[in-house]
Amino acid sequence: MSKEPTPNTAVTMVKDNDPINNNYGSQEVAIEAPHLPGNYSARTSNKWMINDSTTVSSDSLGRGETGEKVSSLQKDEIHSKVSPFKVSPGQLYSTDSGSLFHAGKLLICLTGLPGRGKTHMSVSLTRYLRWLGVSAQVFHFDDFRRQALKSNEISPSFFSQKPSDLEISKIKETVVETCLNNIEDFLLKNNGQVAIYDAINGIAKNRIELQERFNKLSVKVVFIESLIENDNLLANSLKDAIKSPDYEGYDSDEARKDFDKRVESASDSYEVINEVDPTESMVLSYIKSINFGERLVLNRSQYGYLLNRMTFFLLNTRIKKGSIFFARCGDTGNHKNLLFKSDPSLTEKGKAHSKVMMNTLVKLLMNNRNIKESEINKKLMVWTSTRTRTIETGSVFQETYDIQVTQRSEMNQLNPGNIETLTREEIKYKFPIEYDLFKKDPYHVRFPRAESYHDLAVRLEPLILEMERNTKNILIIGHESVLRVLYGYLLNCSSNDIPYLKFPPEEIVEVQYNAYANTSSRIKITEKRT
Amino acid sequence: MPNYTNNIQDSKICVILIGLPARGKTLIAQKVVRYLSWLSIKAKSFSYDDYRRVVYGKSNELTLKDRYEECYRWVETAVADMIEWFEEEKGIVGVLDGSNHSESQRDKIEEICRKHDIKPLFLESWFDKPELITNNILDVNSNSPDYSAIDPEEARKDIEDRIELYKKDYTTLDTSTDADKTFVKMINIHQSIIINKIDTYLQSRIVYYLMNFHIKPRTIWLSRHGESMYNLEGKIGGDADLSQRGLKYAQKLPEMIQKLVGPDEQLTVWISTLKRTYQTSQYLPYKKLQWKALDELDAGICDGMTYEEIERQYPEDFKARDENKYLYRYRGGESYKDVVTRLEPVIMELERQENILIITHQAVLRCIYAYFMNVPQEESPWMSIPLHTVIKLEPMAYDTIVSRIKADIPAVSTYKEKGTSQLGESTDSSSSKTRNIITSAKVHSL
């Protein structure tokens, strides 16, 4: 070589940890003297940031044992702020800044008339992103509006996209500004990566301005417009819309009347995102979702991995009204000898228990969800793992009500590996390294030949998307480890909590879908007729 | 995303490509098949052109009109072969690579699929930008086996004539008349995409992949980091600095790469978060991105040990790893399968980008290489990827061209064969499980 090259400092280097582009030049690195004994250059960057202060004393080694710390049912955490220490269940690795995939920062703006499922879509998108470990937050315009104005003070003309009343338009402007300022703070000051703005956004000019405003801040903007072309779907969606907190204490007819006026007021001035007019189609990045994902139209939305992952999610998600029920299988005799590979049948007691479980669930669906007994098989489906005991527990549903029972091989339990038959003391003695790590981070630790909860969560992703796609009620009969992970997805639990969730065999746990936040409850399995 | 291998027995899919000649159909078909295979999903492409070539050979004796009329014959044969493949080899995704431009022909294929419980997914590539069409014609011209022995100008004329001919009864997919079909219509590749009635997870995975790639020609450069202190000592993992020879490689890299890539070509360098890749890239005058996902396979408690030490301290683990290297997971560490899972965002981003140089580690490179070259799981962890060598990958419609460029700077071998803890590649090829990744490739020297 003719001359020694020097490190090139004019070139940008973007770290995995940088939120967007923290430009800094490369620097020359001195080479140190080698041949020191042992692992003198051990890795310092771990796949996971483990918070050293959290030491958990509970035992939850994936064998369904009783933990010391019994987690009560959680509330849906989807609207709480993301803690920088939180590691999400489906996350592949963590970075110091919390940004992932070199995907930059994104603002997703929902667009659509009232009653088009925007809130539902924005919340479920946030749920999926957070599951992937992306720092995402949803901003509902209506929440900010409710803070500024009491619900009963709002006239339908407030929803017009071009309100003629000057005072209304002034208040609206202030609310929008507060909302957007909050979004800016989240993205630029609080390590946020994706903000989701749930509002009508019905004026073309405003949409373009919104895009320009955030582009200047190096935030990419994508609009997702929800359109419904099917009358049945629309009628159903409008029926759901009046469950909004605005109508708390309203009679349902009254609420419907008022809501129709809002829709009307918004429709008068609403401008659909124009696919032909170049001022909009050549400038905006948008996704149109027609009939809740039945058809998607993507325009100039090649913004990278993260957005494509969201589109992938939109292809799979549907508007859901029912519930997911979680249940354990019935008794199989001597539990002490139940190994990972053993596949026993239910005992008579277990079979009887399955019937009682079914009756409890059917009663609930009939009494509290207004489902006719003859229509149960149209409104409920059952998923089991491929283990005999769960199949047998599910089969009573097929026999009694002709309900579709599907076996899911993804649902097989967490593999306990070499700790399967060991007691806690034995584990501590035989695998001290893993045991220490386990106490700090039970979600990610693998014992030899075992799966961690994280492994389980990653392999359950197809099932989670299947859950998103389904509009019926689903009863999931499975091992506690699997139920923990699926439940953790639905309620946005932190990975630290998932190994401690409790699903005792004598209860059914219900998670009810709701546009704004899911709710969960426990149902005692009992023979008692009411 | 997970490697999706289970529970797909009930959803067989036939991807039916639609589009005029020179719309990137073959490239799309090949890429979809490669992606699915990497995820361990059985997939195969059935190209009408291949059937014609078998009968008539490369050089076309047939007149244009004959060829056009004949083309329906190949459709029937291809569909029949595909059905047989679904049934006998338990295929999951079959791809019909041809123009499928007439509606009646598509209806026929759809009917056959439905009869065999196969879900049709139509995939149309539609261009209306003249410059894009011209580029693609040039590309077909230089890559298609049909035109390998023909004057380029003549070939271009032939493709254009074919396009005109096919246009006659070409029906494009329409959101109103085809509203009930499952389809994807890509307009100018990614400018606009219409996705209709996707109803299974696997279909959505295919669509997701389609959204991520482009069909522009590009080159991917792969290199391991320069020789490190740990390499010298035979230690695995860790976060060691480069050795003197490793640093020499880093210093030579800019000259090498610039010569190979060309002085005005754009290039982005991807490195891992470990020191040795950064040190290797430090003199390169290009933009650099650091990815945690590109970090070396985590050896867990064996991190910083030599293979001999591992064999001594953890004999069972040592043996288990040799038996199934793809699935073996170091205690507290990772398996190759884990690496493939975490590489998914990298692969997708790689598909979206143009010229990229990746400087990373042996196991990670094996996984990336396996994706581009369709190497099966049993072999990929045993491939030899030497130090101080740049690998050039040029993905084409029909195959990926590989070449290897040696930097001519000595380095230790870090290759470990099955059943031994000694490093170095055996010269006895009969006992070796080594897959020399560049068996048929050209070896360039600078």
Is B225 annotated as contributing to ligand binding? yes
How far apart are the C-alpha atoms of B98 and B50, rounded to whole Å? Answer: 10
Q: What is the mean pLDDT of residues A267-279?
A: 83
How far apart are the C-alpha atoms of A440 and A435, rounded to whole Å? Answer: 9
In chain B, which residues have their Cβ closer than 8 Å to the Cβ of A434? Answer: 331-332
Residue A27 has pLDDT above 50, yes or no: no
Closest-CA distance, A129 to chain B, in angstroms, reads 13
Q: From residue B30, how far is each of A100, A434, B88 by CA, in Å? A: 29, 44, 22
ipTM: 0.73
Closest-CA distance, A162 to chain B, in angstroms, reads 30
Q: Based on the residue annotation, tell me whether A198 is a catalytic residue of this protein.
A: yes
- Is-same-fold flag (A105-316; A323-524)? yes
- Pull the structure tokens for residue A381: 């489906």
User: A208-217 — which CB contacts under 8 Å span 24+ positions?
Assistant: A208/A279, A208/A280, A208/A283, A208/A284, A210/A109, A210/A180, A211/A283, A211/A284, A211/A285, A213/A180, A214/A107, A217/A184, A217/A187, A217/A188
With helix as H, strand as E and coil as C, how does B66-80 read? HHHHHHHHHHHHHHH
User: Which overall architecture, per CATH, does domain A105-316 show?
Assistant: 3-Layer(aba) Sandwich (3.40)
Where do the H-state alpha helices sit in A202-322? 204-215, 231-241, 252-269, 278-281, 305-316
pLDDT band (50, 70, 90) for residue A58: very low
In the prediction, which pLDDT does A94 show? Answer: 61
DSSP 3-state helix, strand, coil percentages of chain B (rounded to 5)?
45, 20, 40
Q: Are A63 and A50 in contact (CB under 8 A)?
A: no
What's the Rg (C-alpha) of chain A?
26
Q: From residue B38, how far is each of B34, B403, B435, B441 by CA, in Å? A: 6, 22, 18, 22
In the prediction, which pLDDT does A40 show? Answer: 65
**Least CB-CB distance to A43: which of B192, B237, B278?**
B237
How do beta strands B389-395 and B220-224 pair? Answer: antiparallel
Q: CA triplet B439, B445, B143: central angle to 5 degrees?
A: 60
DSSP summary character for residue B112 = H
User: Which overall architecture, per CATH, does domain A323-524 show?
Assistant: 3-Layer(aba) Sandwich (3.40)
Query: What's the fold here for domain B220-444?
Result: Rossmann fold (3.40.50)
With helix as H, strand as E and coil as C, how does A98-148 read? CCCCCCCEEEEEEECCCCCCHHHHHHHHHHHHHHCCCCEEEEEHHHHHHHH
Q: Is B230 on the interface with A (CB under 8 A)?
A: yes
Q: Is A440 on the interface with B (CB under 8 A)?
A: no
In chain A, which residues have their Cβ closer than 8 Å to the Cβ of B282? Answer: 7-8, 26-29
What kind and span of H or E run contains A519?
A: strand A519-524
Per-residue pLDDT of chain B (446 residues; tens, 9 = 90+): 544 444 444 589 999 999 888 888 888 888 888 888 887 788 899 988 888 777 776 555 566 666 666 667 788 888 999 999 999 988 889 999 988 888 888 899 999 999 998 999 999 988 887 777 777 777 776 667 777 777 778 878 888 888 888 888 888 888 888 888 999 998 887 778 899 988 888 888 888 888 887 777 788 999 999 999 888 888 888 888 888 889 989 999 998 898 888 888 889 899 988 889 989 998 988 888 888 788 899 888 888 888 888 899 888 888 888 888 888 888 778 888 888 878 888 888 888 888 899 999 999 999 998 888 878 878 888 888 888 989 998 887 667 788 888 888 888 877 777 777 777 765 444 333 334 444 333 333 33
- Where do the structural domains in chain A lie, given as residue ranges? 105-316, 323-524
In the prediction, which pLDDT does B402 show? Answer: 85
What's the Rg (C-alpha) of chain B?
24
* CATH code for the structural domain at B12-212: 3.40.50.300
Q: Are B280 and B226 in contact (CB under 8 A)?
A: yes
Amino acid symbol at A96: D
Q: What is the mean pLDDT of residues A26-53?
A: 52
How far apart are the C-alpha atoms of A157 and A162, rounded to whole Å? Answer: 9
How far apart are the C-alpha atoms of B446 and B429, rounded to whole Å? Answer: 28
Q: Length of chain A, please?
A: 530
Residue A244's contacts (CB-CB under 8 Å, 6 or more residues apart) are A142
- Where do the structural domains in chain B lie, given as residue ranges? 12-212, 220-444
In chain A, which residues have their Cβ closer than 8 Å to the Cβ of B288? Answer: 11-14, 26
Residue of A66, A65, A100, A63 lying closest to A82 (CA atoms): A100
Closest-CA distance, A177 to chain B, in angstroms, reads 32
DSSP reduced 3-state for A381: strand
Residue of A409, A485, A476 lying closest to A443 (CA atoms): A485
- Pull the structure tokens for residue A504: 């005792």
Residue B114's contacts (CB-CB under 8 Å, 6 or more residues apart) are B120
Q: What is the mean pLDDT of residues A472-478?
A: 90
In the prediction, which pLDDT does A309 show? Answer: 86
B:332-371 residues touching chain A, CB 8 A cutoff:
332, 341-342, 344-345, 348-349, 352
Q: Is A276 on the interface with B (CB under 8 A)?
A: no
Closest-CA distance, B214 to chain A, in angstroms, reads 10
How far apart are the C-alpha atoms of A501 and B325, rounded to whole Å? Answer: 35
- Pull the structure tokens for residue B178: 């085809």
Q: Are A294 and A315 in contact (CB under 8 A)?
A: no
Residue of B245, B211, B216 lying closest to B387 (CA atoms): B245
Q: CA triplet A39, A42, A43: central angle to 5 degrees?
A: 160
A:82-121 residues touching chain B, CB 8 A cutoff:
92-93, 95, 100-102
For residue B203, how far is the Cα from the chain centroid?
19
Residue B223's contacts (CB-CB under 8 Å, 6 or more residues apart) are B253, B280, B357, B358, B359, B389, B390, B391
How do beta strands B435-436 and B383-384 pair? Answer: parallel
DSSP summary character for residue B416 = B
How far apart are the C-alpha atoms of A200 and A207, rounded to whole Å? Answer: 10
- Pull the structure tokens for residue A335: 């539990």
Q: From residue B378, how far is each of B238, B336, B381, B414, B434 by CA, in Å? A: 26, 11, 7, 19, 11
Q: Are A195 and A107 in contact (CB under 8 A)?
A: yes
Conformational region of residue B419, where left means phi above 0, alpha means psi within -120 to 50, and beta covers everything else: left
Is B230 annotated as contributing to ligand binding? yes
Q: In chain B, whose CA is at the least distance from the CA of A7?
A: B283
How far apart are the C-alpha atoms of A51 and A227, rounded to whole Å? Answer: 44
Is B373 annotated as contributing to ligand binding? no
Q: CA triplet A71, A72, A75: central angle to 5 degrees?
A: 110
In chain A, which residues have their Cβ closer than 8 Å to the Cβ of B238? Answer: 39, 41-43
In the prediction, which pLDDT does A57 show? Answer: 34
